[in-house]
Each structure stands twice: as structure tokens, then as C-alpha cells.
């Protein structure tokens, strides 16, 4: 046997903290990696031939020096019971801890021994059914219930991960960031959903439908300048941790939302086209050029958006609980390092 798992996890956590602190742009990539890995059960493998996983080679390679076994030049001792999959999960937890600003919610790794597929460096593995960005509210709920057994509040809390990072037209075909602080884990995503949005075709060559901000008078977003190159608004106060300007591309992108985000607030399921075009408007302001009716509120989901918008700490705590849940959807028995999530899982202590 190797060293105790608790000792290994403590050491890995420190190494991962150094890795992420040296490049904060890894934060959203690590959180995205673990979600894509854990659909159908976390296994430390991602099929990079799937276009939905475009861009994930970056975090996989960044984690390789830490999350490989010692015999392969990594930091995981043989025989400790800790797997590459555990290390990937831990990396996303450390990223969530380091990206908090006004809260200090811990993301503990309660167990190790997650299954690890045999693809080299985690590049490969089974095909997975990832949620379409064009989903209606019903499609969103059905997907997360089927794959993770999540209920309404858990789905809304998990989608708040979009407060981190953005979308690249080279990867997903979409282009933008969800919040003004794409490296800070807070509830701005939910506050942003309270603004007025308009669906438009995104950048060519894809032209995928995405939602662009219609800034209300006096909105904070009006003071922000967007440019495709030479973005001047880099490390402004309140924009999250400082990032080297050469890697800080996300801060140059416009604010946007996908259908899956809008679906948390507006029921866009009626007349939703296969290409994602929505047959209703965000607000009740039809005019001569656009006579579509307003989208109704999404019953069962919007109340959680409103709750999290007003309570950052509550959202971070709920997000932590959901992340613990989806990263424990594994077939292999886990070695417990502490109280299982079930003993600390108190989802409804602040129901709306």
C-alpha cells in the first residue's frame, strides 16, 4: 500500500492551488472539465473527438503533471487509492475555492477511489450525451433529472457555474461571457438574468442563436467597452482576481446568454425551433417589426433565480452541495475521507 489517502489529498490540494493561482484562466476550464467528465459517471476521461468537448485539452494537459501517477511523472503515489478522476474532481473544487471573493465556502473532497478509464492521460473514453445549449425549460429539467437525478433547485444552482468563464466561437460556436467577472464564483449570473435580453444570431461562420444584453438605463454594463482586440478593461476593481493580460481574452467578450440560461427565467419552450430560435420576446414590448408575444416566466425555476440573486452565500453553499452530488455519481466504491455528503446535505433550509 501507499501513503494514506488523506495525506495524498492534502498534498494534491496544495499543488493544485499553486497551479491555479499561477493561471486563473484555468478556473472555468476545470469546472467545465469535471461536468463533462461526470455525465454518466466520473471516470477521468473525456472524448476530445466530440465537438462538445472542444477546448478541454487545455485543462487536461495542465493537470497532467499533478494528476498523473508518480511512475508517470505525476504526483499521485501508487497504491494510495487516489485516482486521476479524484484529482480532476479535486482540481475543480480547489478552483471553486480560489475563485470566491466575498465568501469562503469550502469544497471538501469526502471520498476517493473513483473509477478511472484506461485512456492515456484521460484523452478518450466513452461518448456522452451532453445537454444541448438550445434546450427548453422542460428539456433542461428532463436532462438533469435523467443524468444526475437533480431536482429544480439543484438544476438552477448548478447552472450558476456559468458565472465562470465564457464561450469561444472556435470551440462551441457561441461567443461571449455570462458575467463581468468571469473568474469569480459569485451570484452575478442570477442578477444578470434579471436584465433584458434579446435573441440574435451569433458571430459567423456559425450564426448560432444567442441572447445579447439590452442594457437598461444606468445599468453597470453600459460603462463597459467591448472590443475584439486590445481589450482595455482588464484588471479593474471588482472584476475578480488579476489575470495576465495576454491570457485574459474572456474579459474582452460581450455579455451573452444561451437558451439553457434564459430557460431558468423564461419559458421559451413554446414554438422553439430546432435551431434554437425562440418564438417569444423577453419583455412585453411587441412592435410593428416583431409582433411575437412575451415569454412567460418559467414556473418552478425562476423563484430559485430570484432567491440566489439576492443571497450570494446561499447560492455558493447550494452550488457546493450540487457539485458534491454530481461528482459522486460513480459505480466504484469510494474510500470515505470524512462525513459523506448525505450528512451535510441540507438543500431546503431556505426554500423560497
Q: What is the pLDDT along the chain (352 residues), one digit of tens a residue?
A: 678 899 999 999 999 999 999 998 899 999 999 999 999 889 999 999 998 899 999 999 999 999 999 999 999 999 999 999 999 999 999 999 999 998 899 999 988 999 999 888 888 888 888 888 888 899 999 999 999 999 999 999 999 999 998 888 888 888 888 887 888 999 999 998 988 888 988 777 778 899 987 755 444 443 333 333 344 443 333 444 444 443 444 556 778 899 999 999 999 988 788 889 998 888 765 454 677 888 999 989 999 999 999 999 999 999 999 999 999 855 455 677 765 544 443 333 333 3
Q: Please state at what angle helix 152-159 crosses helix 137-148, rounded to 10 degrees.
A: 100
CA dist list (Å): 46 to 14, 158, 159: 25, 20, 20
Is omega for the bond preceding 205 within 30 degrees of 0, making it cis? yes
Residue 28 and residue 253: Cα distance in Å, rounded?
A: 15
From CA 11, how far away is CA 14, in angstroms rounded? 5
How many H helices and E strands in the chain? 11, 7
CA distance 337 to 339: 7
Question: How high is the pLDDT of residue 201?
Answer: 86
- Tell the residue number behind the cell numbers 454518466, with chain if given: 40
Please enumerate, as own/partner, the contacts of 128-133 that have beta carbons within 8 Å and a separation of 24 or more.
128/36, 128/39, 128/40, 128/47, 128/50, 129/39, 129/40, 130/36, 130/39, 130/50, 130/52, 131/260, 132/260, 133/172, 133/174, 133/208, 133/258, 133/259, 133/260, 133/276
Cα separation, 56 vs 125, whole angstroms: 14
pTM: 0.86
**pLDDT (tens digit per residue) in 259-277:** 999 999 999 988 788 889 9
- C-alpha closest to that of 60 among 125, 106, 6, 115: 125
Q: Are strands 166-167 and 111-112 parallel, antiparallel or unpaired?
A: unpaired
Q: Quickly list H helices, the chain.
A: 5-22, 26-38, 57-67, 84-98, 137-148, 152-159, 188-192, 259-262, 302-310, 312-326, 341-344
Amino acid at each position: 500500500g501507499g501513503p494514506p489517502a488523506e495525506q495524498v489529498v492534502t498534498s494534491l490540494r496544495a499543488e493544485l492551488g499553486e497551479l491555479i493561482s499561477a493561471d486563473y484562466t484555468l478556473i472555468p476550464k476545470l469546472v467545465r472539465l469535471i461536468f463533462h467528465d461526470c455525465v454518466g459517471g466520473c471516470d477521468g476521461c473525456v472524448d476530445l473527438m466530440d465537438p462538445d468537448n472542444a477546448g478541454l485539452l487545455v485543462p487536461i494537459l495542465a493537470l497532467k503533471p499533478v494528476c498523473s501517477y508518480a511512475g508517470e511523472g505525476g504526483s499521485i503515489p501508487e497504491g494510495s487509492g487516489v485516482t486521476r478522476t479524484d484529482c480532476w474532481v479535486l482540481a475543480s473544487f480547489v478552483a471553486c475555492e480560489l475563485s470566491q471573493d466575498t465568501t469562503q465556502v469550502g469544497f471538501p473532497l469526502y471520498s476517493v477511489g473513483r473509477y478511472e478509464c484506461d485512456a492515456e492521460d484521460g484523452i478518450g473514453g466513452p461518448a456522452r450525451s451532453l445537454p444541448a445549449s438550445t434546450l427548453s425549460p422542460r428539456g433542461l429539467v428532463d436532462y438533469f433529472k435523467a443524468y444526475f437525478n437533480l431536482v429544480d433547485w439543484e438544476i438552477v444552482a448548478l447552472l450558476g457555474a456559468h458565472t465562470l468563464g465564457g464561450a469561444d466561437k472556435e470551440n462551441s460556436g457561441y461567443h461571449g461571457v455570462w458575467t463581468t467577472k468571469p473568474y469569480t464564483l459569485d451570484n452575478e449570473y442570477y442578477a444578470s438574468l434579471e436584465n433584458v435580453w434579446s435573441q440574435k444570431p451569433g458571430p459567423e461562420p456559425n450564426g448560432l442563436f444567442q441572447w445579447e444584453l439590452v442594457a437598461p438605463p444606468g445599468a453597470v454594463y453600459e460603462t463597459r467597452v467591448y472590443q475584439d482586440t486590445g481589450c482595455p478593461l482588464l484588471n479593474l476593481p471588482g472584476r475578480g482576481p488579476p489575470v495576465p493580460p495576454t491570457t485574459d481574452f474572456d474579459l474582452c467578450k460581450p455579455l451573452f446568454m444561451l437558451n439553457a440560461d434564459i430557460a431558468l427565467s423564461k419559458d421559451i419552450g413554446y414554438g422553439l425551433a430546432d435551431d434554437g430560435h425562440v418564438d417569444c420576446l423577453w419583455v412585453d414590448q411587441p412592435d410593428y417589426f416583431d409582433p411575437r408575444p412575451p415569454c412567460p416566466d418559467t414556473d418552478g425555476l425562476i423563484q430559485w433565480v430570484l432567491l440566489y440573486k439576492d443571497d450570494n452565500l446561499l447560492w455558493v453553499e447550494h452550488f457546493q452541495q450540487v457539485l458534491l452530488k454530481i461528482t459522486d455519481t460513480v459505480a466504484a466504491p469510494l474510500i470515505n475521507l470524512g462525513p459523506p455528503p448525505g450528512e451535510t446535505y441540507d438543500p431546503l433550509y431556505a426554500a423560497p
